Amino acid sequence: MDDEVDELTEQIVVQLPMGLAEDDLDLRNRLGDAIEAKLAELELGEFDGGDIGSGTMNLFAYVAPEHWQQAFAAVHSIVDEFDLLEVALIARRDTSDEDADLVIVWPEGSDREFSY
């Protein structure tokens, strides 16, 4: 992967509801560590951390547009390994367009609301 961070313009956001585990922060951190390791191993992008609030947990990563499908598949696989696909929202945002909205890509066709 090229070291140019500016090329990592596609954001992947994984959102989970609070209350999934006895320690939500620990769950978010373990999931984040797994996403970070997989993206680094496959040289697909960079994990950027997470936040907790408003009843949800979010994890953020950045990838190059040409690696989007591979990165999404890797993140989706990790969320599945944690048995969280039924409750997770995964969204995409083009950060090169400051007016771009998040687009929910998992579950496909979802009408669930993404909250920040």
Each domain of the chain, given as residue ranges in start order, spans 5-54+69-106
Of all residues in the chain, what percent carry a pLDDT higher than 70? Answer: 95
pTM of the complete model: 0.91
- In tens, the pLDDT along 69-111 reads 999 999 999 999 999 999 999 999 999 999 999 999 999 988 8
User: CA 16, CA 24: separation in Å to the nearest integer?
Assistant: 10
Query: 19: alpha, beta or left, given left = phi > 0 and alpha = psi -120 to 50?
Result: left
Task: Give the pLDDT mean for 21-25.
Answer: 92
- In tens, the pLDDT along 58-74 reads 999 999 999 999 999 99
The residues, any chain, with a CB within 8 Å of residue 66's CB and separated by 6 or more, are none
Across-strand partners of 14?
Answer: 59, 90
User: CA 14, CA 28: separation in Å to the nearest integer?
Assistant: 10
For residue 56, is pLDDT > 80? yes
Using pLDDT thresholds of 50, 70 and 90, give the confidence band for residue 55. very high
